[in-house]
Structure 1
Amino acid sequence: MGSAFTLTLANIVMWQWERQAILPKLPSHEFYGGYIDDIFLASNESETTLKEWLENANLFHPNIKLTYTISKTVSFLDVLLNNNNGVLVSSVYHKLAAEPCLLSFLSDHPRHVFRNVIQTLLMRAILYPSTFEAFNEERRRIRLTLLLNG
């Protein structure tokens, strides 16, 4: 897995790469964010322009290569983002392999672990959806998931 310093070093390298290869060439009025080695960009540029920009970013260093998805709907970490006629709409992203299984409430874990699972589900439901409808859908999903997991 590497040493304890690996993550710090990776963050330094990615910060340097962002500062030199990404941010100066980023078109204005774009939404850009990152977490460790994942980045997200929402843009109104053409697909051709974006691909050129991404290919140029790949030339910066031989060991840093971007793989990218250009779409109206994309997941970033555990947020699902959708371009709905020029409006960026967000909701909670659910990985198919992980849903709707949670830590079994019959398992022998400390009680605070179960409370943390529920608290995390609720915080995601509150923070991620950008519409009331998406919030209600997530609320229903949480209720069903908790019922299925006992």
Structure 2
Amino acid sequence: MGSSFTLTLANIFMWKWQKELVRRQDITGEFYGRYIDDIFMTWNRSENDLKNLLNDANTWHPNIKLEYKISKSLPFLDVILTNNNGMLSTSVYHKPAAEPYVVPFISDHPRHTFVNVIQTSLTRALR
């Protein structure tokens, strides 16, 4: 992403951009979450109202354009979130393009990397 300061500047910019969206979500008691360039939010009003809000948000800055997906079940980071009759449930999500946790032992990675890969894989499997 460039220099180490780039992420901080991007977060400051997005904080300013998303203030109105977060304010609207807070007023209605909805959930809003963002990680870098991924946003997840809940919505209990009409789908048309949501589309109007997102289309309006697309006009707030010329360099920010939202692509959205509206569904009862969506992946967000490594979690799949599902609306089961008003109850939000979660489960582990594995991206189809993600590589498995395999590091060839002939690679030049430090030895502790191999232990970490195995430990992380076992931890995720137990969840």
TM class by smaller structure? 0.7 to 0.9
Higher relative contact order (CA 8 A, sep 6+): 1
Equivalents in 1 of 2:11, 2:119: separation in Å?
29
Distance 1:87 1:107 in 2: 47
Deviation at 1:104, TM superposition (A): 3.3
Runs of 5+ in structure 1 lacking a partner?
126-137, 143-150
Amino acid aligned to 1:91 = S
CA distance in 2, matches of 1:93, 1:107: 30
Structure 1 residues 1-150: aligned runs within 5 Å:
1-19=1-19, 21-26=20-25, 28-98=28-98, 101-104=100-103, 106-108=105-107, 109-123=109-123, 125=124, 138-139=125-126
Deviations 1:5-45 (A, max 9, x none): 222211110011112x3122225121111112211102222
User: TM-score, normalization: structure 2?
Assistant: 0.83
Q: In angstroms, what is the RMSD of aligned CA positions? A: 2.2
SS in 1 for 2:120: helix
Paired residue secondary structure (1:115): helix
Local SS of the residue matching 2:119: helix
1:57 aligned partner, one-letter code:
A
Q: Determine the C-alpha separation between the residues in 1 that align with 2:29 and 2:115.
A: 40
Kindly indicate whether the alpha-carbon contact (under 8 Å) linking 2:101 and 2:121 is maintained by their aligned counterparts in 1.
no
Take 2:46 and 2:120, find their aligned partners in 1: how far apart are those partners?
A: 37
Identity among equivalent pairs (%): 57
TM score, norm. by length of structure 1: 0.71
Q: Which moved more, 1:74-83 or 1:108-117?
A: 108-117
Q: Whole-Å Cα distance in 1 between the matches of residues 106 and 28 of structure 2?
A: 51
Alpha-carbon distance in 2 for matches of 1:93, 1:74: 10
Unaligned 5+ segments in structure 2 are none
